[in-house]
Structure 1
Amino acid sequence: MDHKLFKRERWNRILELVNERDFLSIDEMKKLLNVSEITIRRDMKELNDRALVQKVYGGIKKIDSNPPEAQFAQRRMSHANEKALIAKLTIEFVEDGDTIFIDASSTTFEFAKVCREKRNNLHVVTSSLVTALELIKNPTNTVTLIGGIIRADNMSVIGTTAEKMVEDLNVEKAFISCRTFEPDEGTFETNPSESVIKRKMADNSNKVYLLVDSSKLFKKATFLTVPVEKINAVITDGKVDELINVLPKKVKVVHGV
């Protein structure tokens, strides 16, 4: 079994247990997961650093509240391997010096991390607080954070001010994700302002790249956001044959395993 996948499954089990019991000791985790104390202590540190648990004497405890950082970290862990793969595939569509939109999603955040490492002199407009903070770690980048109301659970900026700002900007490429994607219609969202912002990003870009893991494919949500006719490429991890059969011929499907 892949080591990273095993670790992800172990973390998910730890989170399930600590949510059930409120506190887990090091000895309990060693017995329940059948791993060494060194491994447990490493897991404890990484989960604590991601604000998913609180490390205490002798073990870990459930976090009393659910701050925005923890909510976003939990979303990042969902289908994490798929999102990392999609990010690596998507970087091939970015060149040094590009001017781009990046939306506020956990998938495009993984893509932003790769951009920070692999590309320079990017001009990025984003509605994501965490993406903006990630990209400015590379001092060659210029980052414009869209202004408006902060949506805490998504670490994003929404509202009429944000929508107006996006409407007045034009870029070469937009990199977006979605809540769901129905390939004969387009992308869908559940938040109306997020939907408007992503639609305007697509409208004001020369090319649109959709980053979407296979768990979101062939599903609908409340708000149709970006019609499939606006999309130039779909970057995903699976269901490739089904996508090719339904998508317009002009839409490129990029995938990995």
Structure 2
Amino acid sequence: MPVDSKKAERLKLIQQALQDQSAIHLREMAALLDVSEMTLRRDLSKYTDHLRLLGGYITKIHDGNEPGDYRVAEQDTRHVEEKRRIGKLAARFIQPGDTVFFDCGTTTPFVVDFIPDELEFTAVCNSLNVLLKLSQKPNCHIVVCGGTFHRKNQVFENTTETGILDGVRLTWAFVSAAGVSQDFGVTCFNFNEVEVKQKVLRQAQQRLLLADHSKFDTVRTAHFAALEDFQYVVSDKKIPKAYRDAIAASGAQLII
């Protein structure tokens, strides 16, 4: 890739990262992009109309005509760094021609951020925040499970939406969770997410759980799976040792 193209790709990834928070530390972004802080400083010095560097943090400049960044209603903004790193790790699994289900939640959009624009793939989703991210990928064919829109968790629900999934063969299911417990399994907050999660877990060739360390040893209202239902768990380095051992015992591969 030519140097200018690499710089443009870096700047685009920074802008996508800033859709989920108001600022990101220069050191963190440099590590995520595998470049030096000086390289990013040079990039930003020539892109001052849109991005700026303040006190070691990269921020986005808004003009009066630019629509506000999209925010998931009641979004949990904690552990953003961990979620972004999880997204970067998970995105590497997607290959050209794959069909991938992207679950709802606040971690999944970070996966989309790190999918190269040139990659051709099919995405299946059932939430608005993920759909908006996928729409930025020019070579992504999108299949949406439509229906009634639930504002709280940004999910589309329909009694026939799982019928859409009947006709789709998934290479990957990227599934999010709000709680992972050795005793009570994998859970989420909302019952309206359960049917689709279970459906894609049955139909996907490869099943991947996205969960930062704060989700472990936590139980939420709606149960939908066990650790044994996943072949991969993508988390961060703060995951408790007891759960590292539990994931290994379940036969899944831990990616951190």
Distance 1:109 1:76, change over 3 A: farther
Matches within 5 A, 1:44-63: 51=68
Pairwise CA distance, 1:93:
1.5
Q: Which runs of 5+ in 1 are unaligned?
A: 10-37, 53-68
Counterpart in the other structure of 2:11? none
- The alignment's C-alpha RMSD in Å is 3.1
Instruction: Give the distance between the partners of 1:135 and 1:246, measured in 2 at CA.
Output: 33
Instruction: Give the distance between the partners of 1:252 and 1:92, measured in 2 at CA.
Output: 15
Is contact 2:74–2:152 with CA below 8 Å preserved after alignment? no
Pairwise CA distance, 1:132:
2.1
Pair member with larger Rg: 1
Counterpart in the other structure of 1:234? 233
Is contact 1:187–1:225 with CA below 8 Å preserved after alignment? yes
How many residues in Structure 1 have an aligned counterpart in Structure 2? 204
Counterpart in the other structure of 2:95? 95
Pairwise CA distance, 1:185:
4.6
Tell me, yes or no, if structure 1 residue 121 matches structure 2 residue 110: no
Counterpart in the other structure of 1:105? 105
Distance 1:219 1:97, change over 3 A: same
Is contact 1:185–1:228 with CA below 8 Å preserved after alignment? no
Instruction: Give the distance between the partners of 2:193 and 2:78, measured in 1 at CA.
Output: 20
Is contact 1:95–1:119 with CA below 8 Å preserved after alignment? no
After superposing the two structures, state which structure 1 stretch, 79-88 or 182-191, moved more: 182-191
Instruction: Give the distance between the partners of 1:181 and 1:122, measured in 2 at CA.
Output: 29
Is contact 1:104–1:128 with CA below 8 Å preserved after alignment? yes
Is contact 1:174–1:208 with CA below 8 Å preserved after alignment? yes
Deviations 1:57-111 (A, max 9, x none): xxxxxxxxxxxx54x1762632111110101111221112111111111101111
Instruction: Give the distance between the partners of 2:154 and 2:143, measured in 1 at CA.
Output: 15
Deviations 1:148-203 (A, max 9, x none): 11112222212312233234433111001111111455320221121111111111
Q: Counterpart of 1:150 in 2: which secondary structure?
A: strand
Distance 1:118 1:156, change over 3 A: same
Counterpart in the other structure of 1:19? none
Amino acid corresponding to residue 86 of structure 2 in structure 1: I
Question: Identity, % of aligned pairs?
Answer: 22
Q: Counterpart of 2:96 in 1: which secondary structure?
A: coil
Matches within 5 A, 1:14-29: none
Is contact 2:232–2:253 with CA below 8 Å preserved after alignment? yes
Instruction: Give the distance between the partners of 1:191 and 1:50, measured in 2 at CA.
Output: 30
**TM-score scaled to structure 2, two decimals?**
0.69
Instruction: Give the distance between the partners of 1:159 and 1:43, measured in 2 at CA.
Output: 39
Instruction: Give the distance between the partners of 1:190 and 1:219, measured in 2 at CA.
Output: 11
Is contact 2:105–2:176 with CA below 8 Å preserved after alignment? yes
Q: Counterpart of 1:160 in 2: which secondary structure?
A: coil
Pairwise CA distance, 1:45:
5.2
Is contact 1:50–1:73 with CA below 8 Å preserved after alignment? no
**TM-score scaled to structure 1, two decimals?**
0.69
After superposing the two structures, state which structure 1 stretch, 185-194 or 217-226, moved more: 185-194
Counterpart in the other structure of 1:250? 251
Instruction: Give the distance between the partners of 1:135 and 1:79, measured in 2 at CA.
Output: 22
Pairwise CA distance, 1:137:
2.2
Q: Counterpart of 2:109 in 1: which secondary structure?
A: helix
Is contact 1:91–1:114 with CA below 8 Å preserved after alignment? yes
- Which is helix-richer, 1 or 2? 1
Counterpart in the other structure of 1:75? 75
Pairwise CA distance, 1:119:
5.7
